[in-house]
Structure 1
């Protein structure tokens, strides 16, 4: 007769103990991992908070200094007495240089540069990335080479060409022309165009669409992040530009706010009761549009899934 051996109760008990012990170890490991992740999150939040405070403190100090009636250049001035807060510095500097006129000139100058940069940058980027023509690589290399040439080297010949030959001194067009094309914008648009699948362009050409129609209907909607990037990068340059508008303009009504503020600092500020606060007030007005622009458009700094336009 054959004997059937049944599993012993001691074996099953030891297996059950080992299984429960394994579950306890896994639970302990998961709890430790969660605790470690919480600690890492807290440390990351502390580090980011310290970095944000260090980054924002100069802006905060600039605003507080612009609102102080009596100047306090020490560290304690970062927490002024409420009775020392006033808008008198903005009124004083506006009486001397007219902040509204300076902002309008800066807006016209910057808006013209942005318009020219976007239009010419899109056309050049499309031509250098999508169209096939002889000398395309050499042209792109030359556009990159322009970036290594300092603008100060070109300033004297540009002044002679624009102010004397073209007679565009004290003219918004004379301020805009040297910045009308930006090689960085061309590079950004070119790289975005290269990410678009070529099948989209080939299909549009088969349907009989011209290049301008392809650019307007297919390409431009797919590179919206590039527009925001170029807009912000282009805005900062002409908005804060001082040297070229200072050379090309002599009429105060046409000078951008950066030039007017520099003239105020060098000539008028010493005669005011609170020159420190007035200068900071002008700096606040000059920096406010840039800060607002970044806050409004920061959510658009996302990449688009342009490959979704092509079926697999």
Structure 2
């Protein structure tokens, strides 16, 4: 008998050839419990948004738990009309849109260029530059706010301008890091093939790299959108003209100046918050599926 046959018989005797036991699937009770936990967590997450909408529609504020389920007779749109008469919601939304769009455009352009250079191109000091980009993440923006205000308002004369609001947020080191990591996942062979065909680096970036990192573009856009859309402190500091202030700043001014004279200041403030939140919610609902897709593998044959 050969050694192989001896080992086979020994495995049969000891039962080592038997297939490993399969893990049992969770029963119906476990699935129900999981759905209950998820449903409770979802309701707990959504309840503040629901309460904000309900509070913005109430004629008289009701801070008790019963206020979450108001009497239909207490529902009205007057709060939206009242706050729109004190501050122009449309003008605030337009200013917020200009501020946010400018920041997103600059973040994507500079982030793509820097991320491509840090991941694909080879040049002296690339590692040190990336380390500096990481270190910038630990510097709080509030620490730089006073020097930035002096530079932009006094030296550049850009106070009370949209450009003055956008400049401090034009380059986002987090976006640079995200694009770098995505570009590193793209096979080098694709870049080399494009260069062999005579494509310039900008052509390689535009025609090869960008289509393959579309999830990174959408991720950066969505993550960048929240910052300037909800930003209050810098626009409040750099703008004094109410006609140029984003909606978040206009709402803060409303709270500190004229809210006390409103018939329902609580409802009016919530109405403004609803208007400010709607674009962000709509944007995330539309593009949430894009986070789960990736086209990197489509450019390489298996």
Do the two structures share a fold, i.e. TM-score over 0.5? Answer: yes
Hey, what does 2:275 align to over in structure 1?
Answer: 285
SS in 1 for 2:279: helix
Q: Does 2:216 align with 1:226?
A: yes
TM-score by length of 2: 0.91
Hey, what does 1:185 align to over in structure 2?
Answer: 175
CA–CA separation in structure 2 for the residues paired with 1:249 and 1:183: 25
Hey, what does 1:41 align to over in structure 2?
Answer: 31
Q: Deviations over 1:70-96 (max 9, x none)?
A: 110111100000010000000000000
User: Rg larger in 1 or in 2?
Assistant: 1
* Contact 1:71/1:277 (8 A) holds in 2: yes
State how many pairs are aligned: 282
Counterpart of 1:267 (choices 235, 245, 257) is: 257
Hey, what does 1:98 align to over in structure 2?
Answer: 88
Hey, what does 1:241 align to over in structure 2?
Answer: 231
SS in 2 for 1:148: coil
Counterpart of 1:196 (choices 165, 186, 203) is: 186
Hey, what does 1:52 align to over in structure 2?
Answer: 42
CA–CA separation in structure 1 for the residues paired with 2:137 and 2:52: 33
Hey, what does 1:205 align to over in structure 2?
Answer: 195
Hey, what does 1:86 align to over in structure 2?
Answer: 76
* Offset at residue 37 of structure 1 (A): 2.9
Hey, what does 1:299 align to over in structure 2?
Answer: 289
* Offset at residue 166 of structure 1 (A): 0.5
CA–CA separation in structure 2 for the residues paired with 1:240 and 1:308: 37
Hey, what does 2:247 align to over in structure 1?
Answer: 257
CA–CA separation in structure 2 for the residues paired with 1:274 and 1:216: 53
Hey, what does 1:153 align to over in structure 2?
Answer: 143
Hey, what does 1:108 align to over in structure 2?
Answer: 98
* Offset at residue 38 of structure 1 (A): 2.1
SS in 2 for 1:221: helix
Q: Deviations over 1:35-88 (max 9, x none)?
A: x43222211111110000000000000000000001101111000000100000
TM-score by length of 1: 0.88
CA–CA separation in structure 2 for the residues paired with 1:62 and 1:288: 12
> Which ranges of structure 1 fall in alignment gaps of 5 or more residues?
1-29
CA RMSD of aligned residues (A): 1.5
> Which ranges of structure 2 fall in alignment gaps of 5 or more residues?
1-21
* Offset at residue 303 of structure 1 (A): 3.9
